[in-house]
Every structure is written in C-alpha cells, then in structure tokens.
Chain A
Amino acid sequence: MYTIVQQRPDSIYDLFERKDGDQHVTHYCPGCGHGVIHKMIAECLDDLGVQDRTILVSPVGCSVFAYYYFDVGNVQAPHGRAPAVATGIKRSRPGSIVLSYQGDGDLAAIGGNEILHAANRGEDITVFFVNNAIYGMTGGQMAPTSLLGQKTTTSPFGRTLQNEGYPMRVCELLAALEAPVYLERTAIFDSKNNMRTRKAIRKAIQNQIDGLGFSLVEILSPCPTIWKMTPQDARKWLNENMIPYYKPGVYRDKTAPPTKSIVTLQAASGSSSAASEAGQTPATKVPADNAVEPSSPPPAPSRRTARKEVPLVEVPSLLGIRATERPGETSGSAALLGNYNERSRFFDSTVSPAPPRSEAGFFPSTVPEKYQNPQIKIAGFGGQGVLLLGEVLAESGMLSGYRVSWLPSYGPEMRGGTAHCHVRLSQHEIGSPLVSRPTILLSLNKPSLLKFLPEATPGALIIYNSSLIDEPPVRDDIETVPLSATEIAEKIGSPKVANMVMIGGLMARTHLLSKETVFAAIDALVKNQALIELNRRAIEAGMQAVLELEAVLQS
C-alpha cells in the first residue's frame, strides 16, 4: 500500500486568494528559493503542532505576500520593521509563536536598526532572513549583501569597495551581540543544503517553543529572475559565489540543555565550541558563539587606504570618468576602480546611436503615420520576458535616434500575475513615461489582454499571442494581429523567446525598428551567447509570420 510521506503542508492554504494571477500557485518566479523555504517552515509548524498559535510577520519585498500562503495569523510590517512588529506581538501575546520573515533588502538595509536591536534585546522571536544578495521585487538594485563586483541596476559596473563597502554578513554581525541564542546560516541550492536548512528552521522554531530567546536563520537563496539565470545556473552561482563569502554554519548556539553541554551557557566568554557540543553538525567548521573568525576579506587594500587614495573631492572619478588614469595611483586601487572604467553597455554595441533626427521625417517614411509616436503597453505573465521585451524596444528605439522611455510595472504582483511595462518611442520630448492609453498593445496571455484591452485607444494596434489566447479581442475600433508566439518560439527551441517573436511581429507590422538596431539592442541586453542566437531567430520568425499573415489577407 502506498502512503503519503510528503505533501502540501496544512499550514499552507489550499488556494491562494490573490487578486491577480493563478490562485493555485505562488507568485514567486520559477526556481525561486522563497517557495522552498515557505514549504519547510509550514511543514515544521505542522509537525511541531503550533500552526494555531503562530503569527507570521511578512516584510516588504518579493515575500510580502507570505500572508496569502501561510494559514497562520498574519501581520504585514512596513519595510524593515518586521522585528519591531514581531517584538510587539510577542510581548503582548507571549504564548504565540512569532516568526519574522525578511529578505536582505528589508533586513540588512532599511531594517538594519530593527534587527540589531531586536537581537540585542534577545526578543523571544524567530527570524528567517532570506539572503539573495539583491533587491528582487523592485527589479535588481544593489543590497547591502550584494557581492563585490556584482552588477546590479544601481551598481552597473559592479559593486566596489570604495563606493559601497564590503557585503554585510548578518550572522557574523549579530554574533557579536550577547543575547541571541541561535544563529545559523544555510543555503538553498541542492538537496543536502536544503535539508540542512530544514533542520535549522526546525531548531529555530523549537527554540521559541522552549522560550529560549532570539533565533535567526540566514538562508542563502537563489533569485533566478533578477540574477538573469536559469534556476539551475542560479543554484550553481550561489554555490560558487555566495558560499565562499557567506560561509554556512552555526554562528551561535546557546540552546543546548545544560546537562549536555554546560560550556554552552558560559560560551559568552567566547572560547568554547558550543555548536559541536550541542550536537550540531555545521556545514563548514565554523567556531560557534562569538569566537567566529571573520572569513578572509578579498585581497584588496583596506577601505581606509582606498579612501585615502581617492580624495572625496574627486567625485567624477568615483563616477567612472577617467577613473584609472590618474597619476601616482597604486595598482591595487586601480584594479578596484577598474570596474568603473568599463564603458556602459550602449557603447559596446555594434551600432552607434543614430544622429539626432530632423523634425520633418523623424520617423522613417516606411512607418505609417498611425504607428508614429507610439505609446506601447506590453503585458503577459511574470516570467514571459515582458520587461525584457520592453527594454529591447526602448534600447533599439534609442539606437534608431528616437526619444524613448521604458517604465516597468513593479511590485510583487508582477511576479506571478500579469507583468506589464510601458514603452514610448517619440519624436518629442517625453513628459511622462506612463502609458495609460496605449496605441499599441502587445499581449502575451489572456488575463493581460482582458485587463488592458479597454485601455487601448480607438484605432489601436493589438498584437496578441494566439497560442495562449483562444478568443480574439472583441472591439470593432481596433486593429488586431494574431501571432502564435509561444508555438513559434517552441519550434525555434524554447517557449521563453515568445517575447522576441512578438517583437518581430511588431517590426513587420509597423516598421518602427530595423532588424539591425533590434539585434544590437539584444546584444547589449542579453548576456548569454546561445540566447542571443535564439532571440535573433525568434525575431525573424515573428517577422516572417506577420508578413505571411498580411500576404494571406491581401490576396
């Protein structure tokens, strides 16, 4: 007889009653670590029998919607304030199990103060700190935990020591405080490390049930979307880049019962190896308690020396202008500054930006007047590459000499619901990047078409992905072009390039962008060589499909 050994935990709702998106699935991206961690926490609440007295404080960030998933008491805290909110809840309801769930932007940046003091007060709460070295929800800005050299939207040439300092190691930082009873860092990337994470989660919750004090588990977690990697590559990247800097292990464990390890209780004086005596098996041999040795910093001059060599008045050099050429500079800091000197991606492209266009004949004569100065909205599932589609349009528009804007919708909704972005290609200066009445709508799935069709202006051009949209848009004052983008993309090699097929369709229909500029934009925006090739073929296939369709209609 087969019996169930693992299944959806009871502490996870059967249906996620979110406004947007499919209610059967989380809003997290495919391969995201959050879902794994949610599942493990929920399973632990089931097993320890505390579901009915658990209160989860969710943060601001991708995991803000944790309250849609956990069938426990839920409170959502302002950005970074979860430990303070958790403190209040725990003190007023001491019998409850209070969990604070936070990302690295939330906990280590804006919430640095809260976590430090909650830990220092030894609040009897459990904190799950999910560290993916970047701001996920807002689209990839640098976090205090981003690695040196890591490129983010706010450190486009890589994080450097002078400008942003060392990545912050939260476990080590909190291990300098007396009060925390349990601090461990684990990771989500393979089954061995996942199981270690599961064990740490259980211990951290058990500690609170036993009333022992402040516990925090830092969990290194993959963010495939913002790292721009496949779930597999993200796991590999985490292992190869985050693990060496953020060493997994037990950084504090004062929880062992006195009979087993009396030393642990004295461990505050700093010399004992509490973790191993308490029966822990740290992933790497990290001495427990506050005797943790800092792992070796990168081979770079200390921040102080670096500062001395780069006087603050020379702001332009910090901004990357003439960074390495200054006389008398040591090679060490030149190397550090080197990243800044790398020219922006626009200059790498094979096509140089077109000279300013004259007002008359601003758009090429092949572009029908109705498609000039388009206000474009692009919409689909989070994960269909909607934002990249918009970026490619804007970037190639820029290379064509147009004035452009690209505005992503952002927020947790877009992860699993309908993502959209706004693009304008204009002859005139752009007042607002917001497109509330699109003249062109590119729709990749059905919910997004239903949502945005009413916004389209009379006469608007609607190109829709007929692979996933079975009914054509109904409105008699619009132009519609069906394009089986997902199927075409699949034939080429991956349904993921459906977004590029849509671009091809738009190009063939409107002539707004040339193949040359679109390909150059893709070269600049897509890092993976194999994907560049695939994207190019998808664009050509999209053009082809629309041209064929037009030929059929004309004959």
Chain B
Amino acid sequence: MPNPARGKIEIAQDECKGCAVCTDACPPKVIQLSTTLNVQGYHPAQYLGDGCTGCGICFYVCPEPGAITVYKWQDEEVQPKQHRAA
C-alpha cells in the first residue's frame, strides 16, 4: 500500500450494541452501522476500511469498554503505545 491511512480501527462485532454514537462522532465519518444483525440482535458498527485518522474519538465516545481498538500508522523507528495527552 503506497499511502496507508493514518489510522484504522477494529470493532468487535459481538461487543457492539449498535448505539451509533461512534458513527456520529467520527470526524471523517468512516464508521457505519452494518445492515446485518449480531448475536445480540443489534446492527453493529463497522469501519468502512479507509480514511481513519487514528484520532481515537470513537474509542472515547463508545460505551462498550472493549468494542473498539484504534491503530495508528507509525514509521518503524517511532516508539509505539503513546497514550494521547489529555
């Protein structure tokens, strides 16, 4: 991939309750509710696959503690796992 998106997210489909708070909050609007139902009977949120900036906003608005994982693109030499400054 020549020009990877700055970030990406993963949403655990079975942990999502389809509240759509993340889809509203995501600035580039790259999250959408799925048309299919998950085991709980909700339409889970899904990452559209491109355009995420890794800003972490969806993580901090989502009510499920484990539903969203946010990744950021880092050049190899940069040290990973830096928590956002408040």
Distance (whole angstroms) from the CB of A416 to the closest CB of chain B: 9
Residues of A within 8 A of B17 (CB): 25, 29-31, 383
Chain B residue at minimal CB-CB distance from A224: B19
> Does A296 reach chain B (CB closer than 8 Å)?
no
Residues of B within 8 A of A486 (CB): 37, 41
| Residue from the list A6, A30, A42 in contact with B70, Cβ < 8 A | A6
Q: Are A35 and B63 within 8 A (Cβ)?
A: yes
Q: If A1-B76, A6-B68 touch, does A31 touch B63 (CB 8 Å cutoff)?
A: yes
Most chain B CB neighbours (cut-off 10 Å) among A4, A34, A235: A4
Q: Mark A202-228, 1 if CB is under 8 A from B, else 0.
A: 100000000000000000000010000
Q: Mark B1-17, 1 if CB is under 8 A from A, else 0.
A: 00010011000101101
- How distant is the Cα of A5 from the Cα of B55 in the complex, in angstroms? 9
- How distant is the Cα of A195 from the Cα of B58 in the complex, in angstroms? 12
Q: Are A26 and B59 within 8 A (Cβ)?
A: no
| Residue from the list B19, B60, B82 in contact with A31, Cβ < 8 A | B19
Q: Are A69 and B65 within 8 A (Cβ)?
A: yes
Q: Are A38 and B41 within 8 A (Cβ)?
A: no
> Does A22 reach chain B (CB closer than 8 Å)?
yes
Chain B: interface residue total (CB-CB under 8 A): 45
> Does A554 reach chain B (CB closer than 8 Å)?
no
Distance (whole angstroms) from the CB of B46 to the closest CB of chain A: 16
| Residue from the list B18, B69, B81 in contact with A8, Cβ < 8 A | B69
- How distant is the Cα of A486 from the Cα of B21 in the complex, in angstroms? 22
Chain A: interface residue total (CB-CB under 8 A): 49
Q: Are A202 and B60 within 8 A (Cβ)?
A: no
Chain B, range 47-86, C-beta contacts under 8 Å to A: 54, 56-57, 59-66, 68-76, 80-84, 86
> Does A266 reach chain B (CB closer than 8 Å)?
no
- How distant is the Cα of A32 from the Cα of B17 in the complex, in angstroms? 10
Most chain B CB neighbours (cut-off 10 Å) among A33, A38, A191: A191
Q: Are B63 and A32 within 8 A (Cβ)?
A: yes
| Residue from the list B20, B42, B57, B63 in contact with A34, Cβ < 8 A | B63
Q: Are A30 and B76 within 8 A (Cβ)?
A: no
Residues of A within 8 A of B56 (CB): 5-6
Q: Are B60 and A26 within 8 A (Cβ)?
A: no
Q: Mark A1-16, 1 if CB is under 8 A from B, else 0.
A: 1111111110010100
Distance (whole angstroms) from the CB of B74 to the closest CB of chain A: 5
Residues of A within 8 A of B21 (CB): 31, 231-232, 235
- How distant is the Cα of A3 from the Cα of B71 in the complex, in angstroms? 5
Residues of A within 8 A of B74 (CB): 1-3
Chain A residue at minimal CB-CB distance from B73: A2
Q: If A3-B80, A7-B70, A31-B21 touch, does A445 touch B60 (CB 8 Å cutoff)?
A: no
Residues of A within 8 A of B14 (CB): 22, 24-25
Residues of B within 8 A of A24 (CB): 12, 14-15, 66
> Does A381 reach chain B (CB closer than 8 Å)?
yes
Q: If A24-B14, A486-B41 touch, does A2 touch B71 (CB 8 Å cutoff)?
A: yes
- How distant is the Cα of A25 from the Cα of B76 in the complex, in angstroms? 34
Residues of B within 8 A of A384 (CB): 41
Q: If A232-B21, A486-B37 touch, does A4 touch B86 (CB 8 Å cutoff)?
A: no
Q: Are A195 and B60 within 8 A (Cβ)?
A: yes
> Does A477 reach chain B (CB closer than 8 Å)?
no
Distance (whole angstroms) from the CB of B35 to the closest CB of chain A: 9
Residues of A within 8 A of B66 (CB): 7-8, 12, 14, 24
> Does A199 reach chain B (CB closer than 8 Å)?
yes
> Does B25 reach chain A (CB closer than 8 Å)?
yes
Residues of A within 8 A of B43 (CB): 495
Residues of B within 8 A of A195 (CB): 60, 86
Chain B residue at minimal CB-CB distance from A14: B66
Q: Are A5 and B39 within 8 A (Cβ)?
A: no
Q: Are A4 and B71 within 8 A (Cβ)?
A: yes
Residues of B within 8 A of A25 (CB): 14-15, 17, 40, 64
Q: Are A1 and B73 within 8 A (Cβ)?
A: yes
Most chain A CB neighbours (cut-off 10 Å) among B18, B20, B63, B73: B63
Chain A, range 159-213, C-beta contacts under 8 Å to B: 190-191, 194-195, 198-199, 202
Show 6 residue pairs from A and B whose CB-CB distance is below 8 angstroms, ordered by the A residue. A3-B81, A5-B82, A8-B65, A24-B15, A36-B60, A190-B25
A residues with CB within 8 A of B: 1-9, 12, 14, 22, 24-26, 28-36, 38-40, 42-43, 47, 69, 190-191, 194-195, 198-199, 202, 224, 231-232, 235, 381, 383-384, 445, 468, 486, 495
Per CB-CB distance, the 5 closest pairs between chain A and chain B, nearest first, are: A35-B63, A3-B80, A8-B66, A30-B17, A31-B19
A4-B69, A8-B65, A30-B42 given; 15 more Cβ-contact pairs under 8 Å = A1-B73, A1-B75, A2-B72, A3-B80, A5-B81, A6-B56, A7-B69, A12-B65, A32-B63, A36-B61, A36-B63, A38-B65, A42-B65, A381-B40, A495-B41
